[in-house]
Amino acid sequence: MEPHDASTGGFPPWVSLEYRHMLSLVGASPATPPSSVLFSSLSAASIDTLQKQLEAPLENGVNAAPFELASGAVRDVMARDGVDLSRVCLLDPRAEKEISPEDSEHFDWFLSAARFCFCGRNVAGLTPTGACLQVRRHPRRRPTAG
């Protein structure tokens, strides 16, 4: 979760812009069924504010992806939904292999580990991505630029 800012009623404006941009990118995808975005580990107080910010129509007629806001950790949402962890891929800028369209045949979930790490513990000296990989051993893909 990003830092909560009481002066803005929830999140700093850049957070809303960043999250809306994610929704526009995922919403522009021709995936069938449509992809969705999960924002997890949110404080209960921030969910209402963020919900309103993200529900506002996007500019230029771009379709926003469906999204879910959850106060629980992503691992809890995955357990709730019965996600097969072998079909989860961590997006890691240091991964050797770049993400490709074919990855959608092997993975159902793509996690941005820097924000949504679900390893459940900190490993000294490692980034959140590194800690997740050491603990869970998920496949990794490098996001593409642009």
Per-residue pLDDT reduced to its tens digit, 99-126: 998 998 899 888 875 444 333 333 344 4
Residue 37 β-bridge partners: 67
pLDDT (tens digit per residue) in 48-89: 888 988 888 877 777 888 899 998 888 888 899 998 988 988
Which tokens is 22 given? 């994610």
**Long-range own/partner contacts, residues 133-138 (CB < 8 A, 24 or more apart):** 133/90, 133/92, 136/85, 138/85, 138/88, 138/89, 138/90, 138/111
Neighbour tally for 101: CB within 10 Å: 7
- pLDDT value of residue 31: 67
Separation of alpha carbons 36 and 25, rounded Å: 11
Separation of alpha carbons 1 and 82, rounded Å: 23
- pLDDT value of residue 122: 37
CA nearest neighbour of 81 among 52, 114, 45, 109: 109
pTM of the model: 0.73
Separation of alpha carbons 143 and 100, rounded Å: 9
Quick check: 37 and 67 in contact, CB under 8 A? Answer: yes
Confidence of residue 127 (pLDDT cuts 50, 70, 90): very low
